[in-house]
Structure 1
Amino acid sequence: MSEAPHILVVDDDDRIRTLLKQYLTREGYRVTVAANATSARKLFATFDFDLAIFDIMMPGESGLELIESLRKQGIKSPVLMLTARGETSDRIEGLKAGADDYLAKPFEPEELALRVNAILRRTHVEPPPEEIEMSGLVFNAKRGELTEGDRRVRLTEAELQLLTALASQAGEAVSREELASHSAGSTERSIDVQVTRLRRKIEPDPKQPVHLQTVRGIGYRLMPD
């Protein structure tokens, strides 16, 4: 099981920090808090945060100045900005500085959680598994090998590129056009031919595929065990 996303909350208001830490912890996140930009910098030097929540209006260095500085340093953690100001110009200023979203105070914790979840879905992509199992076969994308026990199943270069592309998005529908782009000289029509050949090598019954599935009107989907 992957570790829960780690969120940094930076706000000079003790009450807000406590509220957000309690609420986001109950939502299943790991939460660290800081009272100002100086403390936040020290934390960024130690941890890689999956998301940061900055208050814009802080004494000393503001949240806007902090995010601009972090972006110049190459720190790319997504940021949700909090502020008591709700004018459009302030929202635009925050987004231009490099924020991913913006929420005006006062806010409902449920709305904050929804925004946090949406940002993490967009930015926190799990790497594809190194190995995929399919009815006794194991495909290792890193090594470019399809094996059944100790036996290596021979794949043509086109079949390997096709299987690798599908495995990188296992469980998701991938268009014929995208699949063709992964193999030099391939067309959408040739992808259909390669799929038929590949099914003979990976499916228990190629006429009733369970792993290399057709997604009508789109393309194909690879479903591991």
Structure 2
Amino acid sequence: MNEASRAADVVAHLLIVDDDERIRTLLQRFLIRHGFLVSTARDAAHARRLLAGLEFDLVVLDVMMPGEDGIALTAALRRTLRTPILLLTARGETADRIAGLEAGADDYLAKPFEPKELLLRINAILRRIPAEERIVPGPKVLYLGPFRYEVEKGELWRGDEPVRLTATESQLMRLFAARPGEPINRTRLVEDLGRDGDQAQERAVDVQITRLRRKIEADPKQPRYLQTVRGAGYMLAPD
């Protein structure tokens, strides 16, 4: 049993918010390898959209972002959100740490840091939360025309009838549902599916996308919900 499993009875879903794409990608890959489900946001506005539609167990939030910074976002979220927040920042001064904690952050980690220390801090925060508080009382739902996708359960329904998904299709739906409205390129999909990143695997993803479209689209050749974004990849666009 890995550390994430010991910390929670269900797979913890983390949100990484950082304007540096390289850092977002590195942290996402590292945390996925350690058993977490990980979504990413590039700024405060993007994070707000994801938080409005999905439940997260913990937010890892960079302080130094353009526009609304991490401390301001933390203070705003704390008015309505109980989800734990771990701040990341290049600032190491005591006054800055205090400002973050006063805004409502649960912990504070100064850059640069060892990824293992971040992992330990995340698990420490999750252990402090009773498991029952991390279980969403009602599943969040994404609507795709006559279909509905229950995010927490990973189930696709058409009315009262379940739609059978293969293991790979189920993984793809979870990945897209974690980032609705955000294009995901084929390379990222291959990596998140845990496969070797070569052209053959990217073509295999294309095949899986085609099969998934046949299950959720009225016209798979002109997809409405699982769209191709030119030069950016694929995107789930729920109603």
Q: TM-score, normalised by structure 2?
A: 0.51
Match of 2:84 in 1: 78
1:150-161 to structure 2, matched below 5 A, reads none
**Counterpart amino acid of residue 119 in structure 2:** A
Q: Which has the higher contact order (CA 8 A, sep 6+)?
A: 2
Cα distance in 2 between the residues matched to 1:26 and 1:55: 21
Alignment length (residue pairs): 126
1:91-106 to structure 2, matched below 5 A, reads 91-106=97-112
Match of 1:14 in 2: 21
Paired residue secondary structure (1:25): helix
Match of 1:63 in 2: 70
Paired residue secondary structure (2:49): helix
How far did 1:48 drift?
A: 1.1
* Mapped contact 1:50–1:124 kept (Cα < 8 A): no
Match of 2:41 among 3, 24, 34: 34
How far did 1:3 drift?
A: 2.9
How far did 1:126 drift?
A: 3.5
1:1-225 to structure 2, matched below 5 A, reads 2-72=9-79, 74-126=80-132
Paired residue secondary structure (1:45): helix
Structure 1 residues 26-51: Cα deviation after superposition (integer angstroms, max 9, x where no partner): 11000000000000000010111100
Structure 1 residues 84-106: Cα deviation after superposition (integer angstroms, max 9, x where no partner): 01001100000000000000000
How far did 1:124 drift?
A: 4.2
Paired residue secondary structure (2:102): helix
Paired residue secondary structure (1:126): helix
Cα distance in 1 between the residues matched to 2:19 and 2:114: 19
* Mapped contact 1:55–1:81 kept (Cα < 8 A): yes
Q: Which runs of 5+ in 1 are unaligned?
A: 128-225
Cα distance in 2 between the residues matched to 1:31 and 1:76: 19
CA RMSD between the two structures: 1.3
Structure 1 residues 167-200: Cα deviation after superposition (integer angstroms, max 9, x where no partner): xxxxxxxxxxxxxxxxxxxxxxxxxxxxxxxxxx
How far did 1:125 drift?
A: 2.5
Match of 1:216 in 2: none
Report runs of 4+ in structure 1 exceeding 3 Å deviation.
Answer: none
Q: TM-score, normalised by structure 1?
A: 0.54
Structure 1 residues 98-142: Cα deviation after superposition (integer angstroms, max 9, x where no partner): 000000000000000000000000024237xxxxxxxxxxxxxxx
Cα distance in 2 between the residues matched to 1:19 and 1:123: 26
Q: Which runs of 5+ in 2 are unaligned?
A: 134-239
Cα distance in 2 between the residues matched to 1:98 and 1:3: 25
Cα distance in 1 between the residues matched to 2:13 and 2:23: 18
Percent identity between matched residues is 58
